[in-house]
Amino acid sequence: MRNLTVTQWIIIIASVNLLLAWPQLDLMITQWFYQPGSGFIMRGQWWERLLYHSIGYVIAGVLLSLIAIWWITRRHFHSSPFAHAIHRNLPGLTGRTLLLLLALLVTVPGLIVNQGLKEHCGRARPIETVQFGGMKRFTPAFIPSDQSGGSFSSGHAAAAFYLIAVAAALQATQRRWLILATLYASAIALSRIASGSHFLSDVIVSGGLVWLGWRLLFYQSLTK
């Protein structure tokens, strides 16, 4: 953990303390998307459903494409113009990088978020709480609950923010991939909040965990 600077540690600790000290922020942000009597009106909209179902296909497509490109350039056309173009635009595309990206995906979105936090924290989703027409009580982020909810933290957001880590790890010379990944991740995060599926803190924590995992796994590459 020594690879994290003092400033970064301060930001992490301050963010956690803010979420714990001001849980009303979650309710306030969620209230923007809720209408009494109508509920979360954006829930079920075609774009919300499209974003919800797209993440798995996008993750699989990106990883399979990168694996295929790496394999082709390394095994068959190492000296071809195609390989040179790939190495010029994606200088970070190496076997080691792909293994670390797979490790990041399995560890953070897979084990920590989906199998760990979501399965054991029990936080009720916004749409399930009494404040937004449900029957369950609201609990702040990081506080365990016995309500068998799956709100904390957001698996979809973790997977979407993972795409930003992919773009950053590949050291793409063209920033459009990083921008595109950031826009897509932001849209996923917003849709999860707007649909009443997650609180703001669920999304923030997922993004923070992916960033922290990326920093830890890619520290040697970052410091070269």
User: In the predicted model, is pLDDT for residue 221 greater than 80?
Assistant: no
Q: What is the pLDDT of residue 170?
A: 81
The verdict on pTM exceeding 0.85 is yes
Q: What is the pLDDT of residue 2?
A: 47
* pLDDT single digits (tens) 91-125: 667 888 889 999 999 999 999 999 999 988 999 99
**How far, CA to CA in Å, does 1 sit from each of 62, 67, 140?**
29, 29, 27
Average pLDDT score over residue span 159-186: 86
Q: What is the pLDDT of residue 15?
A: 73
Averaged pLDDT of the chain: 85
User: In the predicted model, is pLDDT for residue 57 greater than 90?
Assistant: yes
Helices 6-21 and 200-217: crossing angle in degrees, nearest 10, is 160
Q: Residue 144's CB: how many other CB atoms inside 10 A?
A: 11
User: In the predicted model, is pLDDT for residue 85 greater than 50?
Assistant: yes
Q: What is the pLDDT of residue 5?
A: 62
Region of residue 199 (left: phi > 0; alpha: psi -120 to 50; beta: else): beta
Among positive and negative, which fits the CA dihedral 43, 44, 50, 56? positive
